[in-house]
Chain A
């Protein structure tokens, strides 16, 4: 099992009260793969269904965000390698 990697960056280093804060998280894991399983049903006469694809993530990563000031961060987007979180300054 490979160890995951992560970087975190904010859109600024200082914020006015009430300003939107954006946190961009880039993360990954070498053995964290998205696997596509293709299913085809075939009967005894040799008829086949159309293929159906389904994706499964092996060893998914769990992202947690904590803040020393107790500020709540909410997820805006996450595509499995880049996640964006938002908070209010």
Chain B
């Protein structure tokens, strides 16, 4: 908190003073993700990129830093803050069967995942370790393997559990043959996320370790259900993703949608947590002036952060899928220019 004081004085020395308090917010960290979890070092070089999202499945034998990803350690050690999205979702390869592996001399056996998520009609439903499996302790070996690898990194990261719980649950889930509605799935996920965070927090963690849970943020009821204060006391960030996919979408509207719901619906602990935007993007099909849209983001974030409610602390551009920069050179230049301006710099 700073204070500016004004004094007016007349020739006889009589004076009056008035003061106004203000706060200078920390810079927002501009961030990135490159399609396929590929090495983003070249894209980030020389730009004000200070945050990075990565995705890993707990099913994978190489969670930290990931298979053939030594550059992640280099980036982390150079001060780029990592948001590691760790998913119960099984990415499908090489197989989805049970696993037996050794971590720090201890043999763990983890059964095959028994839940399906993202049950959109007409699609193949991905497998995931079930919330019931987590609560039964069947996935502890997966967590032990990830933690053991994490400890070798040499720095702390944000562990974001799940990418988007709303996307995962939108069409219900099924575990061990039993179907659960969207709302039921949200409730079960909160229990499982609580279990996982408690499991990690009970262990020695690298300094600077923080936790969050992942949401697309497109459904108000789901966002409320997945952010009870009991869970938020265990978490360090709020998180949602932001996409512009319609010609009418403005940066201010898109970034503020979930924030506005949160301000009304969530409790004081949740609202005390800074926001980590793990993904944001502009879909070029509907918004051909992708670069122009990106240029409107810094003032939008500045305005939102000047309003009441949680502080948007990190925004990681998703250069893939809906957010694919096209043409890349133009989009990346716009992103670099945006991150060179307040509130990023």
Please determine whether chains A and B interact with each other in the same assembly: yes
Residues of A within 8 A of B (CB): 1-10, 12-19, 21, 23, 25, 27, 29, 31-32, 59-69, 71, 73, 87, 89
Q: Given A3-B14, A8-B5, A19-B343, 15 other A-B contacts at CB below 8 A?
A: A4-B8, A4-B14, A5-B16, A9-B20, A14-B305, A16-B27, A16-B301, A17-B26, A17-B342, A18-B343, A27-B8, A64-B9, A65-B4, A67-B5, A89-B24
Q: How far is the CA of A59 from the CA of B15 in the complex (A)?
A: 12
The answer to whether A59 touches B342, judged by C-beta atoms less than 8 angstroms apart, is no
Q: How far is the CB of B231 from chain A (nearest CB, A)?
A: 28
Instruction: Using known A-B contacts A13-B22, A25-B6, determine if residue A59 contacts B11 with beta carbons closer than 8 Å.
Output: yes
Residues of B within 8 A of A (CB): 2-12, 14-28, 301-302, 305-306, 341-343, 345
Cβ-neighbour of B21 out of A2, A13, A29, A65 (below 8 A): A13
Q: How far is the CA of A13 from the CA of B216 in the complex (A)?
A: 31
Q: How far is the CB of B139 from chain A (nearest CB, A)?
A: 41
The answer to whether A16 touches B6, judged by C-beta atoms less than 8 angstroms apart, is no
A sample of 8 cross-chain residue pairs with beta-carbon separation below 8 angstroms, ordered by A number, consists of A5-B16, A8-B5, A10-B22, A19-B342, A25-B6, A66-B4, A67-B5, A68-B3
Contact residues in B for A62 (Cβ distance below 8 Å): 8-10
Q: How far is the CA of A23 from the CA of B6 in the complex (A)?
A: 10
The answer to whether A61 touches B8, judged by C-beta atoms less than 8 angstroms apart, is yes
Q: How far is the CA of A32 from the CA of B345 in the complex (A)?
A: 44
Q: How far is the CB of A78 from chain B (nearest CB, A)?
A: 11
Q: How far is the CA of A23 from the CA of B2 in the complex (A)?
A: 13
Cβ-neighbour of A6 out of B18, B305, B306 (below 8 A): B18
Residue of A nearest to B303 (CB): A16
Q: How far is the CA of A65 from the CA of B302 in the complex (A)?
A: 26
Instruction: Using known A-B contacts A6-B16, A19-B342, A25-B18, determine if residue A64 contacts B7 with beta carbons closer than 8 Å.
Output: yes
Residue of B nearest to A10 (CB): B20
Cβ-neighbour of B10 out of A19, A25, A61 (below 8 A): A61
Q: How far is the CA of A68 from the CA of B24 in the complex (A)?
A: 12
Counting chain A CB atoms within 10 Å of each CB, which of B4, B301, B342 scores highest?
B4
The answer to whether B306 touches A16, judged by C-beta atoms less than 8 angstroms apart, is yes
Q: How far is the CA of A5 from the CA of B23 in the complex (A)?
A: 26
The answer to whether B306 touches A14, judged by C-beta atoms less than 8 angstroms apart, is yes
The answer to whether A71 touches B20, judged by C-beta atoms less than 8 angstroms apart, is no
Residue of A nearest to B28 (CB): A16
The answer to whether A61 touches B4, judged by C-beta atoms less than 8 angstroms apart, is no
Contact residues in A for B23 (Cβ distance below 8 Å): 13-15
Instruction: Using known A-B contacts A3-B16, A6-B17, A8-B19, determine if residue A15 contacts B4 with beta carbons closer than 8 Å.
Output: no
The answer to whether B342 touches A18, judged by C-beta atoms less than 8 angstroms apart, is yes
The answer to whether A6 touches B22, judged by C-beta atoms less than 8 angstroms apart, is no
The answer to whether A1 touches B12, judged by C-beta atoms less than 8 angstroms apart, is yes
Contact residues in A for B21 (Cβ distance below 8 Å): 13
Q: How far is the CA of A14 from the CA of B16 in the complex (A)?
A: 25
Contact residues in B for A19 (Cβ distance below 8 Å): 302, 342-343
Q: How far is the CB of B30 from chain A (nearest CB, A)?
A: 13
Contact residues in A for B302 (Cβ distance below 8 Å): 16, 19
Cβ-neighbour of A63 out of B6, B26, B301, B341 (below 8 A): B6
Contact residues in B for A8 (Cβ distance below 8 Å): 4-6, 18-20
Contact residues in B for A6 (Cβ distance below 8 Å): 6-8, 16-18
Contact residues in A for B10 (Cβ distance below 8 Å): 1, 4, 29, 31-32, 59-62
Instruction: Using known A-B contacts A64-B6, A64-B9, determine if residue A4 contacts B20 with beta carbons closer than 8 Å.
Output: no
Q: How far is the CA of A35 from the CA of B302 in the complex (A)?
A: 46
Q: How far is the CB of B301 from chain A (nearest CB, A)?
A: 8
The answer to whether A71 touches B4, judged by C-beta atoms less than 8 angstroms apart, is yes
Instruction: Using known A-B contacts A3-B16, A8-B18, determine if residue A16 contacts B343 with beta carbons closer than 8 Å.
Output: yes
Contact residues in B for A59 (Cβ distance below 8 Å): 10-12
Q: How far is the CA of A4 from the CA of B9 in the complex (A)?
A: 7
Q: How far is the CB of A15 from chain B (nearest CB, A)?
A: 6
Q: How far is the CA of A59 from the CA of B11 in the complex (A)?
A: 6
